[in-house]
Structure 1
Amino acid sequence: MSTRTARRRPATAARRRPSRGPSRRTVLRRRLVAILVLVGVTAFVVTVWFTPALGVREVEVAGVVDLTEAQVREVAAIDEGTPLVQLDTRAVADRVHRLSRVAGVTVERVLPSTVRLTVDEREPVAVVKAADGAHLVDATGRDYAVVASPPDGVPELTAQPNAVAAAVSVLTAVPESLRREVSLVRAGSPADIRLTLSEGREVRWGSPEDTPRKAAVLDVLLTRNGTVFDVSSPELPTVSDGPE
């Protein structure tokens, strides 16, 4: 055997020698870190879910106009100290939505301890006068509140029960410039809707069908002299000086 071959063998053996694993101290340190992380995560979960540390301390209410913040808080029924993560926001929203003036509500958790309720109140588009007061009707046709006197600028509605939705749909779809002139909406049926405008003028609208086209035709008709403007058939509109 040559001297060169003999010298190579120790080097080959060194290359094949298995590497040493982590020391016992390193293993213990890693285990300790893992245990501490687990304990920390567990403590955090327990704190968030089962203690009042991140519980409700304040309920903010925004967006109210006719309602009061106290009314909304009362019906929301959010117990102080309830952990935020356990708060059933859908149930809270359902409770607030029971208020007849509420059209919608958003419930938000705001860390560390606040619940924010943003209320969207219904707005009247018409008013129905009755013995017990003025009934406010919103854009969906819902009678949602009774007040002592009708608000300014809101037209009166006289309609059969089955025609309320149709009458309101016409009123909310016409251009704002025309809506401001409407003082009375009458609906004997869903196909017989009539608008009373300023200066005693009457618009015979018919049904809610083709409302945008009828509004465009009426805009031209109103430039003519007359008191009755019939756009129930927008292909054949008419203008007359009195009831037929």
Structure 2
Amino acid sequence: MSATAARRRPAASGPDSRPAPRRRPPRGRSRRPVRRPYRRAVVRRRLIAIMIMLVVTAVVCTVWFTPALGVREVEVRGAVHLTGDQVREAAAVEPGTPLVRVDVHAVDARVRELPRVAGVHVERLLPGTLRLTVDERDPVAMIISPDGAHLVDATAKDYATVTSPPSGLPELRVGPDALAAAVGVITQLPEALRREVLIVTADTPSDVRVTLSAGREARWGSSADTPRKAAVLEVLMTRKGTVFDVSSPELPTVS
């Protein structure tokens, strides 16, 4: 029998003629090429996470605990009668204090303690400026006393005393309980009528009297319904008379 015929002859059947099982490659050799890149990626991710944490920690420490971003300047805006130094002294912000740690609410409260300050807006401006925008009180009337002219604002607050009475402000001659009512009348008057007011007198909140220019007087009563009373008074002032009673705007009188 030739060698070719021997190769073509089918294998013998029987219990001992089963094909040999295929050998699997060793597990260690097949997994090594997969594990190494995976481990390298994990190590890289961990290193990146650690670096990010270190950077964030450094930034937080720099911002919160060092003077690198500390207060270098306290800028004051809006002050007219107050000086910038007066506002800065009231704010009491220590130079070098980390800007993010400045308690803006506490600064606001301290600056508002200045009698002339009606309000203040506190801003943090990087890298190291704290800006204070001040809103000063505006006088609407004055109280003349031996120590000078006391300025009163629209909230009926006596906030400052000056030596010479300012021109154009009406004088208040009122009792302590009637101060708010008298100021309430003044602030609700139209601008043209307000310029005519010289003196506001009141012993109680319900008996406000307004002395006008040219020897005229308006009996106002309480501060209630002031806009309507003012409109009625403007009509009455076109008539002859010196005393205008608008305490009851439905039944005004002229005498």
Q: Distance in 2 between matches of 1:167 and 1:84?
A: 45
Q: Which residue of 2 aligns with 1:160?
A: 175
- Runs of 4+ with >4 A deviation: none
Q: Which amino acid aligns with 1:107?
A: V
Q: CA deviation at 1:157?
A: 0.6
Provide the secondary structure at the position in 2 that maps to 1:154.
coil
1:7-49 residue CA offsets vs partner (Å, 9 max, x unmatched): xxxxxxxxxxx9x565222221111111110000000100010
Q: Which residue of 2 aligns with 1:121?
A: 136
Which of these two proteins has the greater Rg computed from alpha carbons? 2
Q: Which residue of 2 aligns with 1:131?
A: 146
User: What TM-score, normalized by structure 2, do the two folds share?
Assistant: 0.85
Q: Which amino acid aligns with 2:167?
A: D
Q: Which residue of 1 aligns with 2:40?
A: 25
Work out the percentage of aligned pairs sharing the same amino acid: 67
Q: Distance in 2 between matches of 1:65 and 1:202?
A: 35
Q: Distance in 2 between matches of 1:154 and 1:67?
A: 20
Q: Which amino acid aligns with 1:66?
A: H
Q: Which residue of 2 aligns with 1:62?
A: 77
Provide the secondary structure at the position in 2 that maps to 1:23.
helix
Alignment of 1:135-146 (within 5 A): 135-146=150-161
Q: Which residue of 2 aligns with 1:15?
A: none
Q: Distance in 2 between matches of 1:35 and 1:95?
A: 43
Q: Which amino acid aligns with 2:71?
A: V
Q: Distance in 1 between matches of 2:230 and 2:102?
A: 49
Q: Which residue of 2 aligns with 1:80?
A: 95
**Structure 2: which 5+ runs fail to align?**
1-30
Q: Distance in 2 between matches of 1:167 and 1:123?
A: 16
Q: Which residue of 1 aligns with 2:207?
A: 192
User: What TM-score, normalized by structure 1, do the two folds share?
Assistant: 0.89
Q: Which amino acid aligns with 1:198?
A: S
Match of 2:112 among 88, 97, 100: 97
1:186-233 residue CA offsets vs partner (Å, 9 max, x unmatched): 112100111111111111111011111111111111111111111000
Q: Distance in 2 between matches of 1:199 and 1:219?
A: 15
Q: Distance in 2 between matches of 1:36 and 1:235?
A: 81
Q: Distance in 2 between matches of 1:85 and 1:38?
A: 20
**Structure 1: which 5+ runs fail to align?**
1-17
Q: Which amino acid aligns with 2:116?
A: R
Q: Distance in 2 between matches of 1:119 and 1:65?
A: 9
Q: CA RMSD in A?
A: 1.6
